[in-house]
Structure 1
Amino acid sequence: MTATHVEERGAVDPRIARSRAKLMAAAREILVEGGASALTVDAVADRSGVAKSTLYRHWPSRAALVIDVFRTVMPVTDAVDDSLPFEAALRAHVRSVATSFADTEWTRMLPALFSLRQEFPEIEELILADRREHLESFAALLDLGTAQGSLPAGLDPDVVVAALVGPSFMLALIGDLDRSLEAADYVVDRFLTSYGGPRPTDV
């Protein structure tokens, strides 16, 4: 039985957990410092102080390691709270997305992510899965807004996601993380106003 299978069943040997954590930390550091080309099995083993044979017990290949690294740092946002009034639910969710994009480890990994997505189709799948989750969340929000009479029916979730999340993602790309929540509030204000909602707050 592999270490991964043992971990999935919850019976984790502390030594296995420690070696895996060291290897993952080393892989993330190498990606940030040297980019995609620097992330080799030898480099990760050397940086972590963990033997290559142990690395291969966790991941059968470099590709499996790369995918796991990005899987662990993909932004996580809160689920839509449909018990809230639409405006409150929308503001809370857009702020949650903005906060997840402003995670420093994630933003430092973005250049490597864009570089490696061509080499590893699994990374593209991770990105698409993340996008689908955002679309589903915003589709639920649009349905809530329509049901509560705040939005017209038929708004395209793709367009709404681009409008409401795009500015925060752009700030993450350029490293201007301190303004993520400000941008989130700004675009929500304008979005709501365009459909007859509250007047924008001063930002």
Structure 2
Amino acid sequence: MSGGRTDPRPARSRARLLEAATTLLNSGGPSAVTVDAVLRGANVARATLYRHFSSGTDLLAAAFQSLIPPAPMPPEDGSLRDRLTGLLQAFAEHIAEAPALLTAMNWLALGRDLEQMPDTHASSDSEEVRTLRERIAQQYAAPFDAIFDSPQTAAELVEFDRATAMTLLVGPLVTARLSTLVDADYRETVRASVEGFLHVYGRPAASEQP
């Protein structure tokens, strides 16, 4: 620092590293983001990379963060069924248009296997990996919390585990995307997901109660 001004060079070198990693991730997936390839693309020294990121795995996690867009939010009005349907339709489009999201989730699902990757510094518990995992979990829970915290949900549904509910609702969309039916029409999948969720957790009608 000189004259109270911060040296801009570290910020520039970090930005070059992230740009190179993101480009490789977009073009070739996680396996393309090797330390050597990033160093060539960013034109920086290996020591510079490790000043910013403790491992190539941390750099890859940071690159994923830069590619994941904000999650969609549910409609503010309508019945519980309509709000869930609107949110899942938005999620279906989101999943189709943001492949980095599914790639990141699959990569994070490796868990401890990340430590077996060819990077001696790699750790599935590193700060960047934890940050990515927490961001995905929190960001994609928020739209469902907006519905699950509503008076509609309290009035129409029995008590349920939110993580299980999200799996029941979003799981079929992820499966459809990962299948060979890349251009599949998600509307029937969304309808079935919502109806299945309401069937499992919906309060019985007064005429059905014992």
TM-score (norm 2): 0.63
What is the alpha-carbon distance in structure 1 between the residues aligned to residue 161 and residue 25 of structure 2? 36
Q: Does the residue aligned with 2:52 lie in a helix, a strand or coil?
A: coil
The CA RMSD over aligned residues, in Å, is 3.9
What is the alpha-carbon distance in structure 2 between the residues aligned to residue 125 and residue 16 of structure 1? 17
Shift of 1:99: 2.5
Amino acid at match of 2:183: D
What is the alpha-carbon distance in structure 2 between the residues aligned to residue 55 and residue 84 of structure 1? 55
1:52-201 aligned at under 5 Å gives the runs 52-53=44-45, 56=48, 60-61=52-53, 62-74=56-68, 76-102=70-96, 103-108=98-103, 111-115=106-110, 118=114, 119-121=123-125, 122-144=128-150, 145-146=152-153, 149=155, 151-174=156-179, 176-179=181-184, 181-182=186-187, 183-192=189-198, 195=202
Q: Is 1:23–2:29 an aligned residue pair?
A: no
- Contact 2:169 2:193 survives alignment (8 Å): yes
Determine what percentage of the aligned residue pairs are the same residue: 18
- Contact 1:146 1:152 survives alignment (8 Å): yes
Q: 1:166-188: CA deviations, max 9, x gaps?
A: 11122233354433723223211
Is there any run of 5+ residues in structure 1 with no aligned partner, and where? 7-12, 198-203
- Contact 2:85 2:191 survives alignment (8 Å): yes
Across the two proteins, how many residue pairs are aligned to each other? 182
What is the alpha-carbon distance in structure 2 between the residues aligned to residue 167 and residue 104 of structure 1? 16
Amino acid at match of 2:33: L
- Contact 1:94 1:184 survives alignment (8 Å): yes
What is the alpha-carbon distance in structure 2 between the residues aligned to residue 181 and residue 2 of structure 1? 50
Amino acid at match of 2:89: R
Larger Rg: 2
